[in-house]
Amino acid sequence: MAYIAENWLELLGLASGLLCVWLLIRENVLTFPLGLIYAVITVVVVARAGLFADVLLNVYYVGMNGYGWYFWMRGGQQRRDADTTLLVAAVPRRQWLPLAAVIVLGTLFMGWYFATATQADLPFPDSFTTVASFVAMWMSARKYIESWLLWFVIDVVQVVLYLVKSIPEYALLYLVYLGMAVAGWLAWRKHMVSA
């Protein structure tokens, strides 16, 4: 009981995070308002752990959850089926190089900044997961299937990061996310727009 009293916020983050991804796999638009709640909780948890890049990431998630909610409801008109559901698509090839550049350059810049200007722990892996998550969240909001591949890579790094920082609840969460990324990839493949 003392564990729950001490770690209630982390446990709430764990539950809301799992539910959020489960709804995303099922292509349920309610993933976005729940994602807002999860992001706010996580801002507090990672700020306490000194993972400043993760703080920025979760502030970004608040905005991207609003954008994803809008896009899934009203955007992507050319990708809607007869009942107006937004269908899954592949990232256009012309966007791959810019997205990769954002991840590499963003990780280097953010990691350097946090390493030299703050007391952040593990600034480069933390920055990688942050910048890659910026891209993966944008891809999820646009309903691109490759978002699941990027989430898988991010989840592997996050499990290690949270274990090193002694946040076992979030390490467990990201371990489960690994399996959910595979499930998401398989589920979304069934609903892809033909190229």
The DSSP element (H or E) to which 134 belongs, if any, is helix 123-141
Please measure the distance between the N-terminal and C-terminal CA atoms of the chain and give it in whole angstroms. 53
Give me the mean pLDDT over the 141-148 stretch.
97
Structural domain boundaries in the chain: 2-189
At 9, is the secondary structure helix, strand, or coil?
A: helix
Round the average pLDDT of the chain to a whole number and report it. Answer: 90
53-57, 136-140, 147-151 — which is least confidently predicted?
Answer: 53-57
Tokens linked to 34 = 């729940």
Share of the chain above pLDDT 90, in %: 58
Give the distance from CA 153 to its chain's centroid: 11
Q: Find, among 119, 113, 158, the residue nearest to 13 by Cα.
A: 158
Query: Long-range contact list for 16-24, CB < 8 A, 24+ apart?
Result: 16/41, 17/42, 17/173, 17/177, 18/173, 18/176, 18/180, 21/177, 21/180, 21/184, 22/180, 24/140, 24/184
Secondary structure class of 101 (helix, strand, coil): helix
What is the pTM (predicted TM-score) of this model? 0.86
Residue 22's pLDDT band (cuts 50, 70, 90): very high
> In sequence order, what DSSP letters do the residues of 145-176 get, joined into one string?
TTHHHHHHHHHHHHHHHHHHTT-HHHHHHHHH
Question: Could you tell me the two tokens for 138?
Answer: 């944008």
Question: With the CA atoms of 138, 71, 21 and 106 taken in that order, what torsion angle do they form, in degrees rounded to the nearest 10?
Answer: 10
* Location of structure tokens 């290690």: 160
Q: Identify whether the C-beta of residue 148 lies closer than 8 Å to the C-beta of residue 132.
A: no
Percentage of the chain surpassing pLDDT 70?
Answer: 96
Give residue 62's pLDDT.
Answer: 85
Q: Tens digit of pLDDT for each residue in 73-127?
A: 988 888 887 778 889 999 999 999 999 999 999 999 999 999 999 888 899 998 9
pLDDT tens per residue across span 63-74 = 999 999 999 998
User: How high is the pLDDT of residue 1?
Assistant: 65
For residue 5, pLDDT beyond 80: no
